[in-house]
Structures are given as C-alpha cells and as structure tokens.
Amino acid sequence: MLTNRFMRFYHQNSRKIWLVILTFVTIIVLIQIVNSHATETLRIREEEAQRTPQTQEPTNNFAVISQVPVPEDVQIRATNIIDEFVNHGNNGRIEEAYALLSDEIKEVLFPTIESFRANYFERTFSEFRRHTTQAWINNAGLHTYVVELKEDMLATGRTSNMNLRDYFTITAEGRLNISGFVTREQLDIERHTNNVSFTITSKDVFMDFVRYNITVQNNSLHTIMLDSRENTRAIYITDANGVNHIAHTHEILEEDLILRRAHRRNIQIRFTKRYRPHIPTTSMTFSDIILNHEEYVTHSNRREYENRTSATIEFSR
C-alpha cells in the first residue's frame, strides 16, 4: 500500500524531483570547484611570496609634499628595500627584516630584536600583507614614502578592514626607517642665561612630532624649576612661519624639571610638529623658569611669585 502511494507520487512529480536533485548536485559541485580554486590560488600566492619579493602596485615617484620627482635610481632602491622588508614580514623572517633597519632607528626605537618583535613586527605582520607606496618627502638624502599595508582578504578569508598605514624612510646609506621615524639629527646648540645652561644635543624626527634631547646645567646657588606648570603652553618651539608648537609637558615627570644647584640633567621633550623640512624650527623657549624653587614652594600665592626668568634658544639652522 505504502509502496503504491510512493510510486504514484513519484510518477506524478518525477520531473520536479529530478530537478531538485540535479540542482542540489550542481550547487555542491560548484562549491567544491570554488573552494578548490581558492585553495590553489592561496597556495600559489604563498609559494610566490617565498620565492620572490612581495609584488605591489607601481610606486608613484612624485613626492607629494616636496612636489619634486624622485630620481629613478632612488625609486628603484626604495621599491626594492620596501618589497624585501614586507616579504620578510609576510614570511616571519624577523632577523632578516631587522637587518634592513638603520642604526639610528635601532638606537631610538628598537635597540633589540625582541623590542622590534614586540612593538612592531608581531602587530604589523599578524596578517599576510600586500602593499602600495607613494613618494612623500625628499630631503637631504632622505626619501620618505607612505606605505599602505593592506590585509589580503583572499589569504585571510575575512572581509573586515585591517589595513595599516606607515611611513618608511630610505636613508642615504640605503637602510630603512619605519614606524614614522625619519631621522636623528645632531644639533649641539647652546644657550646660557641666569646661570642656567641649555644644550640641545639632538632631535629625533618623526612624521607627526619631533623629540628634542636636551642637557640642562644649573650653575646657580639655588634649586631651579624649568617650568612651573601653571601654564601648559610655557615650553614651545617656533617655526620659520612664526607658529608656536607646544611641548607635551605632561609627559615629563615634575622631578625631572627640578635641578639642584650644580646639578645636570638630560631630558627629552616632545613637540607636536609634523615633519615639514621646508618649514624649519627657529627657536625653543622656556618661558616660565623658577629661579628659587625653595622660595616658590613656600610662597603663599605661587602664581604671584616673581623670581622667574625665560630662556630662548635660537637655532642657527
């Protein structure tokens, strides 16, 4: 009885039944073909990455900020070292990537390969990256590029945006500065005022800020304070356009601003000034130096304390 019903249903609906079966089989076959193609494409891409430097879109060799073309030999050298660095990153070759970095950036940011691993390599190359480059600034043998490090969606299988942007600078020696670091420039600029000596030894230039390394010597008979912190704009640098760039004084410990008599201290001060070599810095100003810290801290109204001075260090370049 049941068999007769089934046969009757089959004969009445045979075309529909076979159409559903064929559609289902076709979908399964198509899925297998797509998966097989994606797997093979990923395998070929990974093999190519192992054999050759990571391919990229053609480098734009016109420096956007400097508004000058990059010489062909510089463009080739820059493209090759950036390709090589990204290729090492994609394949987990941290020693080879670290070897491409300049001595300057190792001194300033990554003194050991472990610091490079923890603070850059693992974060940047947690995913397989493709990249594009754009010439950005040319200055005094330094060639800075915007590098877009793009997530490879085919390799990761994700559609989320995990792209990164970094600035790579090719040094005159053909080495690489990364993580927005451009260069360390030696300055050795001195200024003496009210028995206080300032020596700006060097500056570390980044794309978004500049950090000055300063030695201060207190030659007075009293403890001094380089900034009362009553005004957050008291320490600043001035550029060639007359624009003041304020120091990040909140990053400096208060005890580092206080110098006992005959005491010397090295301090670092960061200023928010974007890397624009055609707009140089002309001076640095400490506008609220307390000349007798012992008197100042016991004053009934510190804002009315008058034994203060200022110091402006003029830059010759």
Position 16 in a domain: no
Domain C-terminal end among 179, 211, 243: 179
Residue 88 near residue 82, CB atoms below 8 Å? no
Rounded mean pLDDT for each run of 10 residues along the chain, 317 residues in total? 53 62 63 52 44 47 75 88 96 97 97 97 93 90 93 60 89 95 95 94 97 97 96 96 96 95 96 94 96 94 94 85
Are residue 227 and residue 107 in the same domain, yes or no?
Answer: no
The whole-number pLDDT of residue 13 equals 61
The whole-number pLDDT of residue 24 equals 61
Are residue 131 and residue 196 in the same domain, yes or no?
Answer: no
Collapsed DSSP state (helix, strand, coil) of residue 218: strand
Are residue 187 and residue 93 in the same domain, yes or no?
Answer: no
Position 192 in a domain: yes
Position 76 in a domain: yes
| Domain carrying residue 294 | 183-314
Are residue 119 and residue 223 in the same domain, yes or no?
Answer: no
The whole-number pLDDT of residue 21 equals 64
**C-beta neighbour count of 6 within 10 angstroms:** 10
The residues facing 204 across adjacent strands are: 184, 211
Domain C-terminal end among 164, 179, 194: 179
**What is the distance in angstroms between the CA of the first residue and the CA of the last residue of the chain?**
104
Q: What are 57-63's contacts with CB under 8 Å, separation 24+?
A: 57/132, 59/132, 59/133, 59/134, 59/135, 59/145, 60/133, 60/134, 60/135, 61/135, 62/135, 63/135, 63/136, 63/137, 63/138, 63/143
Tokens 């570390």 label which residue?
Answer: 204
Are residue 188 and residue 112 in the same domain, yes or no?
Answer: no
Over residues 6-16, the pLDDT tens digits come to 456 556 666 66
Are residue 201 and residue 129 in the same domain, yes or no?
Answer: no
pTM exceeds 0.75, yes or no: yes
How far apart CA 294 and CA 221 sit, in angstroms, is 11
Are residue 194 and residue 172 in the same domain, yes or no?
Answer: no
CATH of the domain at 152: 3.10.450
Q: What are 117-121's contacts with CB under 8 Å, separation 24+?
A: 120/178, 120/179, 121/89, 121/94, 121/97
Position 23 in a domain: no
Are residue 149 and residue 221 in the same domain, yes or no?
Answer: no
Are residue 95 and residue 199 in the same domain, yes or no?
Answer: no
Tokens standing for 280?
A: 């140089």
Are residue 187 and residue 309 in the same domain, yes or no?
Answer: yes
How far apart CA 73 and CA 249 sit, in angstroms, is 43
Residue 180 near residue 200, CB atoms below 8 Å? no
Domain C-terminal end among 160, 179, 198: 179
How far apart CA 287 and CA 236 sit, in angstroms, is 8
Are residue 135 and residue 192 in the same domain, yes or no?
Answer: no
How many domains would you assign to the chain?
2
Residue 98 near residue 112, CB atoms below 8 Å? no
The whole-number pLDDT of residue 103 equals 97
Position 299 in a domain: yes
Are residue 93 and residue 201 in the same domain, yes or no?
Answer: no
Over residues 109-131, the pLDDT tens digits come to 999 999 999 999 999 999 899 99
Position 199 in a domain: yes
H or E element, residue 284: strand 281-290
- β-pairing, 235-239 vs 244-246, is antiparallel
How far apart CA 43 and CA 85 sit, in angstroms, is 21
